[in-house]
Structure 1
Amino acid sequence: MVDDGAEQPPNVWPLPKFHFQVKWDSAVMSFAEVSGLDVDVQSIEYRHGDSPVFSAIKMPGLKRVGNVTMKRGVFITSDNKFWDWFNQIKMNPIKRVPVTISLLDEEGKPTMVWTLTNAWPTKVTGTDLKSEGSEVAIESIEIAHEGLTIANARNS
């Protein structure tokens, strides 16, 4: 008899990563790819002078968050949201917005949610152009932020 998985609880299957939603401030935007959802902690090395061990000890330091890169296809020629937001940068003042990335289940409900705090654009890249290609035009935006929180949207 073949096991069809009916006997297994539904929370043992890994989540597919292709169904997600990005909420940019209050607007929902479509992206083909989101990368850079990472956090790390700086390692501080220290050794006091009278330590009997001839090596440094390592302690956790400050948390660091990387920039997040989002890529999307160019569909409407008048959609310049990336460039408009980027062009608002004037020395220090820039509109900072919350960005929420949600991994969705098969019903479209969030299962995991990443929230970027005070996000702002650091780089906008237009599509590359090839006369021999037939690929979709892709533009990307790199976003800096001041913090990343991760939450499970529903209890399993």
Structure 2
Amino acid sequence: MAGEAQGNVWPLPKFHFSVDIGSQSNLPFQEVSGLDTETQVIEYRAGNSKTFSTIKMPGIAKFGNVTMKKGIFVKDNNFFDMYSKIQMNLIERVTVTIKLLDQDGNPTMVWTLANAWPTKITGTDLKSDGNEVAVETIEFAHEGLKIQNS
């Protein structure tokens, strides 16, 4: 019945999380999206197969870019500083760790991005009649997503 105690079988809330990028820890992001992975499908049919259909096999794993948003603070150019270090195939690749936290601040689920680097930054839009906070966005490309439960 709704409202009754059901033990520890509740879904985790998604609003309490922390982000570490390289040596910088507990960065103040308001949103993280794109934590996805996909395996390409290889369709194959042997030349001597008696059926007129293909079989499907797993192929190469693909990882989507991860997008993070945070408020803009005075004299905070961390995104641009990170992005401006990109040169032709010379970029510092870092480990990015996203932790979903419980009510005590302990990680319950951890996503780790391997060899991540910033591929895009987007500044805020400006509106003379707006009353929202200024938000900037950074997008990371990476070479692997590892998920752990604590």
Instruction: Report Cα offsets for 1:124-146 as digits up to 9, x if no partner.
Output: 00000111101110000000001
TM, length-normalised to structure 1: 0.92
1:116 to 94, 106, 113: 113
- What are the superposed Cα offsets for residues 71-107 of structure 1, whole Å, 9 maximum, x if unpaired? 001122x111111111111110101110000000000
Structure 1 segments of 4 or more deviating over 6 A?
A: none
Q: Any gaps of 5 or more consecutive residues in structure 1?
A: none
Equivalent-residue separation in structure 1 for 2:44 and 2:11 (angstroms): 41
Report what 1:62 is aligned to. 60
* Aligned 1:32-43 pairs, distance under 5 A: 32-43=30-41
Deviation at 1:18, TM superposition (A): 0.2
The range that moved more, 101-110 or 46-55, is 46-55
Q: Which among 24, 34, 40 is matched to residue 27 of structure 1?
A: 24
Question: Take 1:130 and 1:144, find their aligned partners in 2: how far apart are those partners?
Answer: 30
CA distance in 2, matches of 1:30, 1:148: 21
SS of 2:116 mapped into structure 1: strand
Correspondences of 1:143-154 after superposition (within 5 Å): 143-153=140-150
Q: Secondary structure at 1:90's aligned position in 2?
A: coil
Residues matched between the structures, number: 148
Query: Per the alignment, in what secondary structure is the counterpart of residue 23 of structure 1?
Result: strand
TM-score computed with the length of structure 2 as normaliser: 0.95
- Gaps in structure 2 of 5+ consecutive residues: none
CA distance in 2, matches of 1:151, 1:82: 27
Q: State the alpha-carbon separation in 2 of the partners of residues 85 and 152 from structure 1.
A: 29
Aligned-pair identity (%): 62
CA RMSD across the alignment: 1.1
